[in-house]
Structure formats: C-alpha cells, structure tokens
Structure 1
C-alpha cells in the first residue's frame, strides 16, 4: 500500500516539474528563426541513444517543447501593441520561400467592354465616392445605401401624359429595376462564358430571322416544364409526342437499410461471375434476332427483282433480218391502222 502511494506521489511530482519547466533553454547551437513564417531550424545533433530508447515519445515531446519555448521567447523580443484589449506582436517579413500547395491563380480574363476600351484607347476615370445632393443639401454616396438622387424613396410620382392613369407607377418602377438587375447579371454571365470559351446559352426561344422546327419544339418543351410541378400535370395535345431527354432519373440504393437484400444482391453478382456459362436473356435475344431478320428482309425488298428484257413488238422492227414488216395496230381513236417499218440498207 505504501509503495503505491509513493508511486502516485512520484508521478505527481514529475508532472508538476514538467509543467513548471524554466522558460530558458540552453542549446549548443542557436536556432535559426524565420518569424514571418513562425519557423525555427534546429541544427543541433539529435541524441541517438534517447531516440532509440523505449521512451522515444517522451524524448521527442521534450525536444519539441524546448524548441517551441525558444521560438516563443524570440517572438516576444519584437515590439508589441494592444488591439481591442489584446496584446499582439508585429512580426517581420518572411525570409524563407515556401512552395505553394496549389498553382497561383490565373489573371482574370478581360470583359467585352475592357477589350473594346483597350482597342479604342479609352482610359478609365476614377470617380469620387461622394456627390452633392441638391434635395437634401449634403454630400452623399454615389451608389448604394443612402445614395444621392435616390428616386426609390419618393412618395409621389408624376404620371406621364401618354401612360395609363390606372397603372401603378411604383410597381412599374420596381419591375424596371428588377429587369435592369437581371440584364446586368445575364451580361456578366455571358462575359464569363465568352472568356472561358464556353457556349452561351439562350433564354428560352432565341429570336432568329427564321425559326426552325427544332427551335419551336425546344421552346414548347421549356415552356411546359416551367411550372411549379415541372410540367408533371401539364396537359398534352391529342397527337403530341413526348419531349426528348425527359427520362426517369437514376435511383440509387440507400446507404443504410436492409442488409439482407444487399447481401442477396452481392451473392447474385458472385454467382453470375462464378458460373461458366453466361446468363442469356432469352427475350432480348429473340427480339434481337427478329430485328435482324426484319432488317434483312427490308434490304432485300429494297433491292427488288433483277432486270429482264423488254417484251412486245417494237414499231418498225421485226424478227430476223432486214425485211419489211407489216403490223396492225390501233390508232388514237381505237381504229385499226397499218404500220410499215422500213429496214435499213447496208
């Protein structure tokens, strides 16, 4: 019992000594510091006996603690300042070049307007952020919150002469603003697609001089799926075909579920892989054979029968050598008439 108590006291004393170690650490060679990167290089030789001993973890922990204490002592030698009730140290610039984990970002591609300005030599003029507001008689921001000449805060709008007197001018102004925002966003996306050399998508049915059948079909399909139910309850015309590329989505098996079904599926796969004879789908094989026979019969029918000689008498020609042949035929009104053929002379 006394031995156990002594072991516990010795361990507690050791832990307390480890916790209250001195902040001064002695090294044969001074460490090289790069405080900009919080880096310290220790060129002292490592004790091989301590590294190979059974208490390897304690040795490495002690070495790391001493080097950390040295770099902390070096940090507090630099000037300090108080920022929001916190004392911070102003670190110097980094001196050790470190490799990047990822490649440096590529420069941002120029927009269409920037390319045009560079071609025409247009220089960008920096505008001041504050402008004078004549209504409030004070300097205000040019853009954003509480900007100058903000017409969205007006409580009274004059109705134009050619406008509908029952039209809501406030709603019209809000709608025009949303359209401007959407147009700017669409132009921004087009600039990004153009810079990355990607196809620029159109909005629904793109206006062209002459609409094709495929364009009209695509516009109809887009309009039908643009409902709250994605076109699920949209009615179809009597002879309307189903839209293309609207197949069923793939359904994946749940990650957590009935393990017996999953085990049975795995056993079926192993059974198919282990069998010497492959499993044949008879229905699929018969259908394929029937399709091949139908295609072969259609190709034979398309070729047709072979060419044969012409039948019947030719006018002016008879059988045999060059004699005069006579034949009887019918005229255009059904009356018989004599036909006389003349043989050529050689």
Structure 2
C-alpha cells in the first residue's frame, strides 16, 4: 500500500504541471494566424494583479499562447519528411516595413535576349558519348580535360601560322582568354544591376570606350606609380579625370556614414512633428533685446558723425578761367 500511495502522489504532482488545453475567456482573442499574432482585449483582474504580479502575467501569457497554438493546429496539416506541419493562411494585418521592399534583379544580356526570342532553358546531360574514344565523357571537370588531352594528342599546324609555334600553348592561352572574357562579362552584369558605369579602368578599347573612360584610365595609370604620379609629366592642356577618387591610388576619399537605424529615424521624425504641431514660437527674449540695443546705438553713432553746419564744409577750388600755364607771354625779346 505504501508503494501504491507514492505512485499516486507522483502522478498527482505530474498532473499539476500539465494544464488543460481548453482556455475560457470573457472576450475572444483577436487572432491573426498568418502573423502568429494574438491580441487580448480583456481587462486585468485587479486583485490577482496586486497580490502576485509575476504569477498572474505568467499564467495570462500561457493561456493566450495556448489559444494561439489551438488556432494554428486548426489549419490544414501535412507531413513532410516525417515532420508534421501546419499550412498558415495569408496574414490578415499588414505590418509596416522599416526599409523598402528589394527590387527584382536586373536581367543579364543573355536572359533579356532569351526572353525576347522565347528561348527556354533546357537541362543538359552531365555525360556525352565520344565516338572516337568509345566511352562516356563528362561535359565539364578534370575528367573532361584528361579526355581532351588523350583525344587531341597531336594538332595540325595551320598554313599561315609559324611552323615553330606551340599549338598546344596557343590553345591553352585562347581558353584562358575566353574564361577571362566570361568573367569580365559576369562582372559587367553585376555592375549593370547595381547601376555602376563601366568600363572605368582596366580594359580600354578605342572603338568602344569613350574619351571619358580613356581619361580615367590614364589618370589611374599615372597615379599607380611608387610616387603616386608626382613625377609623371603631363601633356599640354591635359586635365585629370573627375569622379574617380574611389579607384585612384592615394586620392583622398570621404568616408561614407553608416545607414541610420530605425530608432534614429523615428526620433528625427518625432522632433519634426513636434516642431510643426507646437503653436508657440520659440523666442529668445535676451537675444532680441541685445540686437535691438545694438541697432539703436549704431544709429546714434551714424547721426553724430554727420556735420551739423553746412557753412564749415570745404569749398570747391575755383577754375583757371580758361588760361593755360604753358601759354606765350605778352611781349617778347627784342632783336638787335
């Protein structure tokens, strides 16, 4: 009997920890399952709140969470990889965003061309049959390179080329140039998506690049020396390119400020609203009085400096009555 009573006591203690699933409320909660949001509009119990605040809020949070979980499991349920999941409905309340919705990525040249022509992307096979080697070869990777070496163990020299030129080296150089060209095109697509003007420096083609691009390339090349372009000569009427401080070595750059947080923007907006809604103008009385006294004293000084008697003013000099200083005198020297 003693053992049986102990088992009953343990079960009673465990039952106290497990509370019921059903929760009764005077007013039903406003539940938005799509946002996992539950709003409780019921009033607080004043007696329980004063007696034990922490236990009261803990019990209230537990009941409201249980109601939200009950609403979640009332949604359609499916099983994915032995995991039971509930399909949530679309959110009912539209929550504001602190930042703008990101714009869709800009299409590359090939994607734009394929969209205009109606070309659809097809999934390519990873292996291809080689009739010469009589086996399946991968489309890319180190095994593809090995197969190409075994297949192309000898190369024909073209008629117009140098007979002593290494054709294997020429092919590897052409392949590396093609890889570099594809990488450059990829970087240009990224720059175009971020609205960066290209080309700036590096690859310059007189048929494609503008005078501004060439000027930027010359300025950066001169500043890339050990003296940062201090001893580089300039042509007559040559001017440095503008707006390339970010890529010019040794150029002074302005440090960009970090983006303002949501709290700082909120404080600035509230100060502007308070200034607009505040009807009383902010006047500094002491400052107004000092400006008034300074203006009156300056007016008094100007009046005191003016002459009181007009007769004491300096007279104009008289004219010379039309006589020249260097004129001939009357009478002359007598001759003998």
Which structure has the highest helix share of the two?
A: 2
TM-score, normalising length from structure 1? 0.46
TM-score, normalising length from structure 2? 0.47
